Amino acid sequence: MAFKVYVDGQEGTTGLRLLDYLAARDDIELLRIDADRRKDAAERARLLNAADVAFLCLPDAASREAVALLDNPATCLIDASTAFRTDPDWAYGLPELAPGQRDAIRATKRIANPGCHASAFVMLTRPLVEAGLLPAATPLTAYSITGYSGGGKQLIAAYEAGQNDPRLAAPRPYAMGLAHKHLPEMRVHGGLDQAPVFTPIVGPFLKGLSVTIPLHVSQLPAGTTAAALHEAYVAHYADEPFVRVMPLDDMANLDGGFFEVQGCNDTNRVDLFVFGNAEQIALVARLDNLGKGAAGAAVQSMNVHLGLDETTGLSA
């Protein structure tokens, strides 16, 4: 049996990557929309309602409009926008989040795909909060370094056309108003009382992302060590097919002393690291922002929802 799948917004970066994943599978029947009818609401509604699973790769407002076009209760929607990520009526599409999350994804017809920065951040904080090693009230800071594909087709075009522009050769911090769109889900699904001070940086490379959370040991419960945090990750992510908890403070994790942001590219994997000493700790998560940070995560949630092997069509 082939599952009917439609990608609404298939011309965007995430939509195109989703089509790459889906077209390679013989258990998927892709429903395609003619290019000249991409904005035809009636045709979109027909395809949405004909699908077993429909991915929404659209801006927030357009995603809400697409949801309103659906009247088939059997269609599962997986939305890649920020519109529903903290909506209690939608399951957060991070199977590794907590016990029972896979059951929630399997049971629902509404799945909100996590943001790329948020996925890495939440996977660092949530296990520690639940283990009692990171108080929910802790004021956190975090920074992310990401490839320019995270900015979508316009930013990709700007980087590819501006190879001689010296501004594009250097890291470029952005969202300096401290109101990044991923902050609500970082707080809610990270298990925190308040959002972090978050500063993302785009670099002169296509894809790859790492989020770093620096901590003073004095912020943590008495007696907490880097080893204790590492052990909490090992316990939380035991047997997870797409998560590697890297050896504690192992210099083999580095490339000549440098951290390789692109080390998970072309996979659906997340690598987690704990670096530190008696006074300070750095928690780091690395992923492919187009893989586990976007399209790969959406496919993983689809697999879970449909009762398939979770790793089908994905590389660890």
Pairing assessment for the beta strands 110-112 and 91-92 based on DSSP bridges: parallel
Q: What is the pLDDT of residue 249?
A: 82
The domains found in the chain, sorted by start residue, are 3-114+293-306 (3.40.50.720), 116-289 (3.30.360.10)
Q: What is the pLDDT of residue 126?
A: 98
Alpha helices in 108-182 (DSSP H): 116-130, 152-161
Task: Give the residue among 217, 199, 209, 198 at the shortest CA–CA distance from 274.
Answer: 217
Low-confidence ranges of the chain (pLDDT < 50): none
Helix (H) or strand (E) holding 46: helix 41-50
Q: Could you tell me the strand order of the sheet in which 91-92 lies?
A: 28-31, 3-8, 53-56, 76-79, 110-112, 91-92
Whether 291 and 18 have beta carbons less than 8 Å apart is answered as no
Q: What is the pLDDT of residue 110?
A: 98
Return the active site residues.
116
Distance, in Å, from the CA atom of 232 to the CA atom of 219, rounded to the nearest integer, reads 17
* 12-31 pLDDT tens trace: 999 999 999 999 999 999 99
Helix (H, G, I), strand (E, B) or coil at 311: coil
Q: What is the pLDDT of residue 208?
A: 98
Distance, in Å, from the CA atom of 234 to the CA atom of 247, rounded to the nearest integer, reads 10
Whether 267 and 278 have beta carbons less than 8 Å apart is answered as no
Q: What is the pLDDT of residue 98?
A: 96
Task: Give the residue among 236, 250, 244, 225 at the shortest CA–CA distance from 125.
Answer: 236
Pairing assessment for the beta strands 243-245 and 91-92 based on DSSP bridges: unpaired
266-268-273 Cα angle (round to 5) = 100
Helix (H) or strand (E) holding 209: strand 209-216
Q: What is the pLDDT of residue 38?
A: 87
Q: What is the pLDDT of residue 39?
A: 87
Q: Amino acid identity of 171?
A: P
Q: What is the pLDDT of residue 49?
A: 98
Q: What is the pLDDT of residue 251?
A: 84
Pairing assessment for the beta strands 280-287 and 28-31 based on DSSP bridges: unpaired
Distance, in Å, from the CA atom of 133 to the CA atom of 122, rounded to the nearest integer, reads 15
pTM for the whole thing? 0.96
Read off the DSSP letter of residue 246: P
